[in-house]
Amino acid sequence: MSFHYRDGVLHADAVSLDAIAKQVGTPAYVYSAEMLLDAARQFRAALAGVPNKQLLFAVKANPAHAILTLLAEEGYGADIVSGGELAAARRAGMPAHRIVLSGVGKTPNELAAALDAGIGSINLEHEREGELLSALAVARGMRAPALLRVNPGIDAGTHAKITTGTSDSKFGVPLAEALAVYERLSRLPGLALHGVAVHIGSQIIDLAPLETAYRRIGDLILALRHHGHRITHADLGGGLGVAYRAGQPDADVYAYGLMVTRVTRAWETTLLFEPGRFIAARAGVLLTRVLWVKPGARHPFVIVDASMTDLIRPALYDAWHEFAAVRPSGKRMIADVVGPVCESSDVFARAREIDRMVEGDLAIFHTAGAYGATMSSIYNCHALAPEVLVHGRRSAVISSRVEPAALRRQSLPDWFEHAPRA
Ligand code: LLP
């Protein structure tokens, strides 16, 4: 089941979005547990040909406790990028050995916390980081399990702001230097280096750049073994894309599985995967209410109560999210769909044909389950939207609305003698 119309009303699984709006107000994120689990199972099924693997959900895509808990029960571990995500993954019951720490700017505290938690691997972004990690491990009388993240110098063919594998990007060690860096790091007393990691970008639909990246990693593994290194693990990152526009395809996850199986057949390593968007994006929508329909020079403005503070992807990446009425009348209109924030970029859709909207109507933005709620902000002193999980006939608030004052524990300097005190 999914987001679908029943008796003219949009439902998540068996629950109408009308009912959810009534319960929690708008804007609100709504997730379908069934769609999340379907995607998680599909990803695993597609990789059936890979004998040894670990599936790690990229927590950054959606760190909601209930979402992580469902994925933990499906056997997913976590790809994390901060101490906060480590805490979220552990709290959701993901075992430490199924957690991998990535991230280009890990702090000493985060590295130490990862060691103390006993996580499966720390993916090193550069040599200095490896030296620090080694020192931290030696001080604890242990060796840190680590992979070296390699930048294969490949354009993933996706939006520039979510590309990570080109040679001018900040991520990983350039392929040309990887062997030498690996050699030096492997001599450090506190590291148990056991392989390599790669991630070239996100929202990838065309599998060719991924295949090229993986082939380069395969060649590197051969070269490393030739130099006597024991390579037991290779982390192939995330990046599989989904359809944001009606009529476009999702990345073909089964073709991906076959490609990976073919390319890595002779590697003899455990493969790690870090999907985020593919698992969570389609399982979530952002529910909103139309505040005003205002005449514009060319098209009316449909002003909704959700904004770039709830879903920043359109403002940040010109991303497209389908917009649909909860109770479509069958009539259509051309409009700009905009949020209330005082920024010209607070625009969800320009000159788009949409379901006809009048004031007070409910609508959704599709494909908002990944990089949606988690990227929200309290700009303009907006609240953080609540999140609701639906499973079959049941629905529950999994994250309540948060007012900005609750996040900013503000105080006045004690020398502000004349200010009124709350
Ligand atoms: N592994 C690493 C090392 C990553 O940097 C990322 C995403 C992933 C895995 C998960 O990638 P996915 O499977 O979700 O494509 N905020 C952007 C996406 C940023 C992705 C950052 N890294 C957006 O809304 O499109």
pLDDT tens per residue across span 168-203: 778 899 999 999 999 999 999 999 999 999 999 999
Distance 288 CA to ligand 1 centre (A): 26
Q: How, if at all, do strands 284-294 and 28-32 pair? A: antiparallel
DSSP 217-284: HHHHHHHHHHTT----EEE----B----STTPPPP-HHHHHHHHHHHHTTT-SEEEE--SHHHHGGGE
Distance 367 CA to ligand 1 centre (A): 15
The residue ranking higher by pLDDT, 322 or 167, is: 322
Element spanning 20, H or E: helix 17-24
pLDDT of 75-126, one tens digit each? Answer: 999 999 999 999 999 999 999 999 999 999 999 999 999 999 999 999 999 9
Binding residues for substrate, as ranges, are: 277, 313, 317, 343, 371
Q: Atom 5 (ligand 1): residue with closest C-alpha? A: 199
238 CB within 6 A, ligand 1: yes
Distance 202 CA to ligand 1 centre (A): 5
Ligand 1 atom nearest residue 159's Cα: 25
Average of per-residue pLDDT across 268-278: 98
Tell me: pLDDT of 265 over 70.
yes
58 CB within 6 A, ligand 1: yes
Q: Atom 23 (ligand 1): residue with closest C-alpha? A: 371
Per domain, the residue ranges of the chain are: 3-30+281-407, 33-277
ipTM comes to 0.99
The residues assigned a catalytic role are 342
Phi, psi for 254 (deg, rounded to 5): -75, -40
Tell me: pLDDT of 419 over 70.
no
346 CB within 6 A, ligand 1: no
61 CB within 6 A, ligand 1: yes
Q: Which CATH architecture has domain 33-277?
A: Alpha-Beta Barrel (3.20)
Tell me: pLDDT of 163 over 90.
no
Give the per-residue pLDDT at 169: 79
Tell me: pLDDT of 214 over 90.
yes
Cis omega (within 30 of 0) on the bond before 249? no
77 CB within 6 A, ligand 1: no
**Three-class SS of 366-418:** CCCCCCCHHHCCCHHHCCECCEEEEECCEEEEEECCECHHHHCCCCCCCCCCC
384: number of Cβ within 10 Å = 21
Q: Please give the biggest Cα pair distance in the chain.
A: 74
239 CB within 6 A, ligand 1: yes
pTM score, two decimals?
0.97
Could you give the CA distance from residue 17 to residue 33 in angstroms, rounded to a whole number? 15
Give the per-residue pLDDT at 1: 54
Tell me: pLDDT of 356 over 70.
yes
Average of per-residue pLDDT across 283-290: 98
Give the per-residue pLDDT at 405: 87
Bridge partners of 173? 150
Mutation probe of ligand 1 site: the residue of 36, 202, 206, 375 with most atoms within 8 A of C-beta: 202
Ligand 1 atom nearest residue 278's Cα: 13
CA 286 to chain centre: 16
Candidates 2.40.37.10, 3.40.630.30, 1.10.10.10, 3.30.70.20; CATH matching 3-30+281-407: 2.40.37.10
Average of per-residue pLDDT across 293-322: 97
Give the per-residue pLDDT at 383: 97
What interhelical angle do 33-46 and 253-264 show, nearest 10?
30
Q: Atom 16 (ligand 1): residue with closest C-alpha? A: 371
The reply to whether 3-30+281-407 and 33-277 are identical in fold is: no
Place of tokens 């999994």: 398
Could you give the CA distance from residue 181 to residue 185 in angstroms, rounded to a whole number? 6
